[in-house]
Amino acid sequence: MSLSVLKTHLLALVLALVVCSCGVGNRHQAQYRDKKFYTDAMHIVATVCENTSDAVTVNYHCNNDSSYVLYTKASDKSFKNAVRIDPDCRLWSTKGIENTSETSTFFTHERYVCTAGISGLDPDTKYLYKVVAGNHIEYGPYTFSTSGRAGKWNFVAFTDFQHRKNPLTHKLIADMKDLCNPPLVICSGDMVDVGGKEDEWNWLLNGKDLDGEEFKDFVFAASPGDHEYWADDTGGKYPQYTAPHTYNNIFRFPSNGDPQSRNSSYFFRWNNALFVSLDMNNSNVASGARFDSQARWFEKTLDSLSGTYKYLIVFMHKSIYGSSIVDGVVAKKLRPQWAPLFSKYDVDLVLSGHDHIYSRTYQLYDGKPTSDGKGTYYLDMGSSGDKRRSVDASLSEQDGIHQKVIDLKTLGLSFACNVEVTSRNMKVTVYNQNKEIVDSFTIKAKKR
């Protein structure tokens, strides 16, 4: 054997030993290695807990079950006093789930879904956190803040990011972070176009250039849209899941929702407001046992929490006062079930999307505009991406219901809104992708 060949074999042996040694400490290794889609830790997001003043959840996917989360107060930039949280990890793929394409990376790349519940936090405090993968690669630091502020506070709401790699979504998120610095961000569904396609979640959660920056540094809450129910592309068609399987493994929200819609229906408190997420899908079904069960849960929950909040905010994907042409079953079946409940509990604000048309109602009580402070504003923000529709005949500023309607498609606009909350009122300010204010209104606090 020549000297050069011997050197080649020795080099190969050394490289093999290095690869093996890198695996030491990884108790189990998942099939999660396609670098086109993955690094060792992906889809990192901090989500709300029921009591947001002292707890937060960090959820992510990882190719091993030996990762962990470090967190510390924002003043401790060196992480000298950081606390380690070992997450709950469970092996997951979409194998065995109905309508899943076998070419989907959620199917072919089994991975660990890791959930780190962080509790015992101080109210109204900013924290740093990072994820440390099993090979000691660090992701972060990112930030989150707890609730607990007595004075003015704010949150930002989006809807329908949807179209993968559209040029506006991450710009809108970055702009709203710059303009409003929200500790809490909400999205009312259709965060991706096809829920079963992992590269779309990659685009959303890991940044437009996979740098992971835009979607970090706030606590997140969402309700699923019909597109979160879409499985992967199968023969040019998009069959649907009967539950939002990938959504439920990307996010970990409070487990206090209706048992038939766990993780997609839930509630949480942020300062003096109670937020309720509703699951208005599967979009193949407009009514039925799941909706009836969720309605009973909604009533029972609000009865039990009566007197414990100043503002009541609901976020859900489909607007019950939206376009009947885009989704006619909403007005026919969902509105008769949910509008009376929203009036019964005097919901302040309902945030939604789905129609890709901007519309805002007057303050409605029992389906009619009011002037006595009772009732609900229904805000359909249209689109926080580049999928837009023109206004149709079912929506009009002259219909006695809608105070503001905007044709997004003709104007080429995309929206996000900032809500400033005080003990006296909530001021809603809607921005377009050029940081221009396109609408604003104020919701006075009610005597509850």
Residue 35 reports pLDDT greater than 90: no
All residues at 6 or more sequence positions from 20 whose CB lies less than 8 Å from its CB, including other chains: none
Q: In which band, very low, low, confident or very high, does the pLDDT at 420 lie, cut at 50, 70 and 90?
A: very high
Residue 284 reports pLDDT greater than 60: no
**β pairing state of 111-119 and 184-187:** unpaired
Which residues face 421 on adjacent strands?
A: 153, 426
CA 363/CA 369 separation, integer angstroms: 5
Residue 36 reports pLDDT greater than 70: no
The tokens describing 235, both together, are: 């023969």
Portion of the chain with pLDDT greater than 90, in percent:
72
pLDDT number for residue 120: 98
Q: In angstroms, what is the C-alpha Rg of the chain?
A: 23
Residue 37 reports pLDDT greater than 60: no
Distance in angstroms between the alpha carbons of the first and the last residue of the chain: 88
The domain defined by 41-143 carries CATH number 3.40.640.10: no
CA distances from 212 to 24, 41, 141, 164, 431 (A): 27, 11, 11, 15, 24
pLDDT number for residue 286: 57
Residue 212 reports pLDDT greater than 90: no
Q: Do domains 41-143 and 149-444 have the same CATH topology?
A: no
CA distances from 232 to 68, 99, 195, 198, 201 (A): 31, 8, 7, 9, 13
Task: Please state which architecture CATH assigns to domain 149-444.
Answer: 4-Layer Sandwich (3.60)
Taking only the tens place, the pLDDT of each residue in 114-154 is: 999 999 999 999 999 999 997 788 999 999 999 999 899 99
Backbone φ and ψ of 418, nearest 5°: -110, 135
Q: In which band, very low, low, confident or very high, does the pLDDT at 245 lie, cut at 50, 70 and 90?
A: very high
Q: In which band, very low, low, confident or very high, does the pLDDT at 271 lie, cut at 50, 70 and 90?
A: very high
Domain boundaries, the chain: 41-143, 149-444
Helix (H, G, I), strand (E, B) or coil at 41: strand
Taking only the tens place, the pLDDT of each residue in 187-206 is: 999 999 999 999 899 889 98
Query: Residue 443: which of 310, 309, 320, 342 has the closest Cα?
Result: 310
Number of alpha carbons in the 13 Å side-chain half-sphere of residue 29: 8
pLDDT number for residue 288: 72
Query: Residue 339: which of 365, 311, 371, 373 has the closest Cα?
Result: 365
All residues at 6 or more sequence positions from 75 whose CB lies less than 8 Å from its CB, including other chains: none
Residue 1 reports pLDDT greater than 60: no
Residue 211 reports pLDDT greater than 70: no
Taking only the tens place, the pLDDT of each residue in 57-100 is: 999 999 988 999 999 999 999 999 999 999 999 999 999 998 88
CA 158/CA 165 separation, integer angstroms: 17
The residue assigned the tokens 């709203």 is 176
Taking only the tens place, the pLDDT of each residue in 306-333 is: 999 999 999 999 999 999 888 888 888 8
pLDDT number for residue 228: 94
Residue 347 reports pLDDT greater than 50: yes
b/e map 277-313, b = 16+ CB within 10 Å: bbbbbbbeebeeebbeebbebbeebbeeeeeebbbbb
Query: Residue 326: which of 295, 358, 296 has the closest Cα?
Result: 358
Residue 17 reports pLDDT greater than 60: no
Residue 24 reports pLDDT greater than 60: no
Q: Where are the beta strands (DSSP E) in 111-199?
A: 111-119, 126-132, 138-145, 153-158, 184-187
CA 246/CA 231 separation, integer angstroms: 9
pLDDT number for residue 289: 76
Query: Residue 126: which of 87, 86, 77 has the closest Cα?
Result: 77
Backbone φ and ψ of 44, nearest 5°: -75, 125
pLDDT number for residue 158: 98
